[in-house]
Amino acid sequence: MDIAEIAKASGLPASTLRYYEEKGLIQSYGRSGLRRLFHADILQRLALISLARSAGFSLEEISEMFTPQGPEINRQLLLTRADELDRKIKELTSMRDSLRHAAVCSAPSHFECSKFLRLLKVAGKNRFRPANKFSKNKSTGKAQKT
C-alpha cells in the first residue's frame, strides 16, 4: 500500500505518517516513484498508536512498545495509565456534576453555593497559586510587600 492509500484508510494525513516514520514508529519497505510503500499490517500498528495516544501515552512511550518482532507492551505501564485515567474520570465526573448543579442552583449568587465553591476549590487545586504579596528580604530576613 502506498502512503496515499494508508492516509485514506487510516484517516491520518501523509505528513503524520512521514513524521511517525521519522520517529521510528512505522517503517516503509520501499518506494513507488516518490511515494512510500507500506505493508498492509501498518493499519493495525497505526490503530495501536492511535489508541495509545488517546490514552495519553507520549510518542516516546509508544516507540518503546515496538520491537522488530512486533509490539511488546509494558503491562505495568498500562496499569499505571489506567489508574491515572480512573483518577481523571473521577475528577471530571465530579466537575460535571458540580457544573450541572451550578446551572440549576437556586442560590442568589454562585458564590453563595457550597457545591459551586467546592468546584472552584477543586479546579484551582494545584492549577495555579496566587501571587505572594509578601516575600522575605534576603539581606534582612524580614517580610516586605512586593
pLDDT score, position 65: 87
One domain, residues 93 and 124: yes
pLDDT score, position 135: 46
pLDDT score, position 20: 93
Residue 47: alpha-carbon gap to chain centroid: 17
What are the φ and ψ backbone dihedral angles of 135, each rounded to 5 degrees? -140, 160
One domain, residues 95 and 62: no
What does the DSSP 8-state code read for residue 125? T
Q: Is the pTM of this model over 0.85?
A: no
pLDDT one-digit tens code per residue, 76-93: 999 999 999 999 999 888
Residues in the chain predicted with pLDDT less than 70, given as ranges, are: 126-146
> Is residue 81 a part of any domain in this protein?
no
Mean per-residue pLDDT of the chain: 83
Rg over alpha carbons for the chain, rounded to the nearest Å, is 25
DSSP reduced 3-state for 68:
coil
Angle of helix 42-54 relative to helix 3-10, nearest 10 degrees? 40
> Is residue 92 a part of any domain in this protein?
yes
Only one residue has cell 494508508, namely 6
Task: Give the chain's domain count.
Answer: 2
One domain, residues 94 and 119: yes
